[in-house]
Amino acid sequence: MSAQMTGAKMVVQALIDQGVDTVFGYPGGAVLPIYDEVFQQNSIRHVLVRHEQGAIHAAEGYARATGKVGVALVTSGPGATNAVTGLTDALMDSIPLVVFSGQVPTFMIGSDAFQEADTVGITRPCTKHNWLVKDTEKLSNTIHEAFHVAASGRPGPVLVDIPKDVQFAAADYTAPRAMTSHYRPQVKGDIEGITDLVKAIETAKKPIFYTGGGVINSGPAASQLLRELVDGTGFPITSTLMGLGAYPASGDNWLGMLGMHGLYESNMAMHDCDLMINIGARFDDRITGRIDAFSPNSKKVHIDVDPSSINKVIRTDIAIVGDVAHVLEDVLKVWKSRGRKTDRAGLDEWWAQIADWKTVNCLAYTQEGKTIRPQYAVERLEALTKHRKDRFISTEVGQHQMWAAQYMGFDDPNRWMTSGGLGTMGYGFPASIGVQMGHPDALVINVAGEASWLMNMQELGTAVQYRLPVKQFILNNERLGMVRQWQELLHGERYSSSWSEALPDFVKLAEAFGAKGICVSDPDDLDDAIMEMLDHDGPVIFDCLVEKHENCFPMIPSGKAHNEMLLGEAETQGVIDSKGSVLV
């Protein structure tokens, strides 16, 4: 079935046909025809952000929390360039987005027209794919293809650039039909690799599951299958920052996050294991530390939908290209059909070893005196909210992000939104807005540092306008804490520009926007203040004044191996040599 309509109308029609209900955007000259169509319909909610970067992060938060594709709409030129950070963020973290940008009319492209930018050129390296649509005839198909590309295989952001004359012109609209796209990533794993993996599972003495964002990307079924496999085999499991919640933090086999700021037991188990089963993680440098000392004695298995992730950094012994859910289903089938075997005696010894590592109690700290320690603040937030099944946490970037990952537990996937690969300060607040749009009744908290939070604070206007009761839990150390920590450890305590000077009064700031502000500095008042935040039906800025020079431990210093982890202040003297300090 096809009907004649304008390009602008096609955009809206295609969104409806793709099941989109929410669009984050900001208008401008080059997208006015589309905004006009948005105005004349009720199927799609448009959320007016306060900066295009906010639109993209909000769409990311929405996508991660709902499992759907996030959608944003921006104008040409500055609208599109403001979107670049968000697009890069989504590309690094494999978040499916479709972003529409307006463009100057086709006959003016290349003339340095008003608000012209080479948007497809600028966004080519920061999108999975992008299109400049020069012909209204091709628009509807391109949009359907955009959704297909964004969501299939390894997900990622795509951009559709639409010149204004293409929005005005009319053509036939085609509904999303059976896709004719040649883009069909392999989802089913090769049976040989799967059988090899099962054989390795049967004989391993010191196995570990190392899971990542790919499990979340693969959807809820993947998490379900993962739980079945972990509980069935009885193997320990650790996860990257991006994969938290795929296996429940309350589960018996959960070790905690691994990596640079991961738990001692997780990193030690990674280092000493004899079988490492990587499921949807990408051997990021926050995980591997020193490459040539990375888990020296293990057989490495890697399940990943993107062939380029395999053997990129670490050599893999068994590579299985495919989607996590599809592969795990087959792994379980084969493992069961061969009699559900594992080396029980070996595993018992392995767990005993792990129990020994756990006694180090690497996250221990003491809350004493009249200053709130940031770990304590996060732990209290966790204690007072973890019973809420509908709790979603986003974070900014820095120490607070790591403390949230360490001290909070996630029992379900899609409950944890954080900027991992790009580490974008300013991500968390707009992301929390996106999450709340996707789950209007849920409890959405952004664990923030004051410096990161200020980077996209204009979105407070958005939160207030749409009555989004997002809670901004700011651990205010009046420092660019993570930078300060590195300067302390690597640059002789010369704190070059790592202060948050001239901070606003956050309570007054909240009030100025019509939101609620709470400030707390006394540990004894903390619980009541958190309850007050939770009880308030509306956006809250929670200014939690914390210890200013706290460091985040454990920490694997740059250029060190997993078993060279620092556990606390006493161990930090002169540990990072000059070679380590060139690393980031």
Ligand X SMILES: Cc1cc2nc3c(=O)[nH]c(=O)nc-3n(C[C@H](O)[C@H](O)[C@H](O)COP(=O)(O)OP(=O)(O)OC[C@H]3O[C@@H](n4cnc5c(N)ncnc54)[C@H](O)[C@@H]3O)c2cc1C
Q: Is 4 a catalytic residue?
A: no
In this chain, which residue has its C-beta nearest to ligand TPP?
449
CA distances from 571 to 248, 263, 555, 566 (A): 32, 16, 10, 6
Nearer to other proteins by C-beta: 73 or 132? 132
Nearer to ligand TPP by C-beta: 357 or 453? 453
Which residues within the stretch 164-203 sit at the binding site for other proteins (CB under 8 A)? 182-183
Exactly one of 41, 107, 114, 336 is catalytic; name it.
114
Q: Is 270 a catalytic residue?
A: no
Exactly one of 68, 164, 206, 300 is catalytic; name it.
164
Q: Is 167 a catalytic residue?
A: no
Nearer to other proteins by C-beta: 19 or 121? 121
Nearer to other proteins by C-beta: 133 or 470? 133
Q: Which residues of 355-385 are buried (b: 16+ CB within 10 A; e: fewer)?
A: eebeeeebbeeeeeeeebbbbbbbbbbbeeb
Residue 306 C-beta: closest distance to other proteins, Å: 7
Q: Is 92 a catalytic residue?
A: no
Please pick, from the candidates 263, 310, 474, 526, the single residue that binds other proteins as defined by CB under 8 A. 310
Residue 23, C-beta contacts closer than 8 angstroms, at least 6 positions apart? 15, 38, 44, 45, 46, 47, 71, 72, 73
User: Strand runs (DSSP E) across 322-414, as ranges?
Assistant: 391-395
Nearer to other proteins by C-beta: 443 or 583? 583
Enumerate helices (H) and strands (E) in the chain, giving the number of each: 24, 20
Distance separating alpha carbons of residues 16 and 34, to the nearest angstrom: 14
Distance separating alpha carbons of residues 487 and 497, to the nearest angstrom: 10
Question: Binding segment for other proteins among 13-21, 127-135, 210-218, 453-461 (CB under 8 A)?
Answer: 127-135
CA 259, distance to chain mean position in Å, is 16
Exactly one of 417, 455, 482, 533 is catalytic; name it.
482
Residue 157 C-beta: closest distance to ligand X, Å: 13
CA nearest neighbour of 204 among 299, 100, 315, 126: 299
Q: Is 52 a catalytic residue?
A: yes
Nearer to other proteins by C-beta: 184 or 549? 184
Token readout for 481 is 């804490």
Binding site for ligand TPP (CB under 6 A): 396-400, 423-425, 449-452, 475, 477, 479-483
Q: 558 contacts which partner out of ligand X, ligand TPP, other proteins, none, CB within 5 to 8 A by kind?
A: other proteins
Residue 440 and residue 454 in contact, taking contact as beta carbons nearer than 8 Å: no
* Residue 343 DSSP symbol: -
Distance separating alpha carbons of residues 306 and 463, to the nearest angstrom: 37
Q: 217 contacts which partner out of ligand TPP, other proteins, ligand X, none, CB within 5 to 8 A by kind?
A: ligand X
- Note whether 317 binds other proteins by CB under 8 A: no
Token readout for 265 is 């037991």
Residues binding other proteins (CB under 8 A): 120-121, 124-125, 128-129, 132, 149, 154, 182-183, 285, 288, 291-292, 306-308, 310-315, 558-559, 582-584
Show which residues are catalytic.
Answer: 52, 114-115, 164, 482
